[in-house]
Amino acid sequence: MPFGLLALAVAAFAIGTTEFVMVGLIPEMARDLSVSIPVAGLLVSLYALAITLGSPTVTALTGKLPRRELAIGLMAIFTLGNLLSALAPDYALLLTGRIIAAVAHGAFFGIGAAVATSLVDKSRSGQAVSIMMAGLTLAMVIGVPFGSFVGQHLGWRAPFFAVVLLGVISVAGLIVALPKAIEHTPPAGLLSQFALLGKPRLLAMYLVTVFGYGGSFVVFTYLSPLLTGVTGVGENAVNLALMLFGVASLLGSLLGGRLSDTFGLRTTLRATLMALSVALVLLPLAATNTVSMFILLFIWGVLLFVISPTVQAGVVTVAKQEVPDAVGTASGFNIAAFNLGVSAASFVGSILVAGPGILTTPWAALASTLVGLVIVQWWLGRVPSSQVAL
C-alpha cells in the first residue's frame, strides 16, 4: 500500500471521528459550556449543514487549483478548525471551529477519489478509493466510541486534540507522498452542478437519502442522553453502544452491497425501510430496558447502513446513463444529501428534546423514514425496470 494512501485513510478516520464523536459527549459539553442539550446538539446539525453548503461551493471555486496543494491545504484547514474547537473558551468559538472543519471536510472528500487513484496504476483505482474510505468505516467502529470514552474521562476537548494530532500526521504524509502533479478535470460550475437536481431519478434517490437515511439522526444525535436518561445506563455503556452501532454500520454497509446486487435497488430499499420503520416503532418500548435497547440498536444500525451503499450504487448507475460526464458530481450530491438529512434531523431532534421530550424523537424519525418509503414506492417504482438497472 503506498504511504500516501495510508495518509488519506488517516485523514478519513480523523474526519469521520470528528463528525460523530459529539454524539457521546453532548451531555458533558452542555454542562461545561453552560448550554442546554438541544443547543449542544446543534454542533452536530450545523456541522452537517456546513458540509452540505460548503462542499459544492468550495469545490467549484477551487476547481482549477492543483490537486496536491488543495488536498494538503484542505486537510491543514480541517486540522486548524479542530484546534480552534479544542481551545475554544465558549460555545460560539467552538461552533466556529466546527464550521471551518466541516467546510474543509466536505471539499476534501470531493477531491479524495482523484487524489487516491493518482497513487496507483489504473487497474487498482477501485482498491485505492476503498482503502481511503476504510478510514471512515473505522471511524464509526473505533474512532467515535473511543473518542467518546476519552472525552468522558479526560474532558470533551481531548478527542479534538487527538484529531488535531491525526490531522498533523495526515498533512505530513500528504506532503511527503503525493505526486507533484495529479491529473483532474475541473468540476462544473455551481449552476451546472445544481442542474443535476432536474434529473427525476437522481432527485428521487437524493430524497431517499435525506428522509430514509438522514431521518434516523433525529434519534442518533441524542443517543447519549436517551441511554443515560431513559435506559438508565452509565457513560461507559454509552461508549459500548456506540461501538455496537459502529460494528452494525460496517455489517450493514457490506450487506447493502450484496442485497442491491441480488435483488435490485427498489426491492432492497423497500424492504429495508419497512424493517427500519418497525425498529423505530419498537424503539420507545425497548429504550426502557438495557438488553432490548442494545439488541434493537444493533438491528437499527444494520438496517440504516444498508441504505447508504444501495442508494449510492443506484446514483452511480443512473448517472452513468444520464450524465456520464458528471458521475463524480452526481455521487457527491448524494453525500451532500446525507449531510442535509443529518443536519435537518438533528435540528428537529433539538426542538423535540427541548419541548415534548426525548422519547418523541423516534416518532419523528419514523415519519421521515415513511416519507423515504413513499418515495421508493411511488417515485422510483414508476421507472420501468427495462429503462434502468435498479
pLDDT digit string (tens) for 130-164? Answer: 788 778 888 888 999 999 999 988 999 999 999 99
Q: How far apart are alpha carbons 126 and 114 in whole angstroms?
A: 11
CATH of region 191-390: 1.20.1250.20
Residue 124 has pLDDT above 80, yes or no: no
- 198 within 8 A of 21, measured Cβ to Cβ: no
Decide whether 1-187 matches 191-390 in CATH topology. Answer: yes
Question: Hey, where are the domains in the chain?
Answer: 1-187, 191-390
C-beta separation of 340 from 52 below 8 A: yes
- Over pLDDT 90: what percentage of the chain? 54
Helix or strand (DSSP H, E) at 379: none
- Whether the CB-CB separation of 216 and 296 falls below 8 Å is answered with no
Pair 49, 62: CB distance under 8 Å: no
- The residues, ordered by sequence, that sit 6+ positions from 80 with a Cβ below 8 Å of its Cβ are 100
Whether 386 shows a pLDDT value over 60: the answer reads no
Region 73-95: mean pLDDT is 96
The percentage of the chain sitting over the pLDDT mark of 70, rounded to a whole number, equals 93
203-254: per-residue pLDDT in tens?
Answer: 999 999 999 999 999 999 999 999 999 999 988 899 999 999 989 988 888 8
- Confidence check: pLDDT of 30 > 90: yes
359, HSE (Cβ side, Cα atoms, 13 Å): 10
Rounded Cα distance between 194 and 59, Å, is: 13
Residue-wise pLDDT tens digits, 167-189: 999 999 999 988 887 776 666 66
Task: Read off the C-alpha cell for 79.
Answer: 486540522
Confidence (pTM): 0.85
- Which CATH number does the domain 1-187 belong to among 1.20.1250.20, 3.40.630.10, 3.90.1150.10, 1.10.3720.10? 1.20.1250.20
pLDDT value of position 187: 63
Segments in the chain forming alpha helices (H): 3-20, 26-33, 37-61, 67-87, 91-117, 125-138, 144-154, 157-177, 190-194, 200-208, 217-220, 223-226, 235-263, 265-286, 290-322, 327-354, 361-378
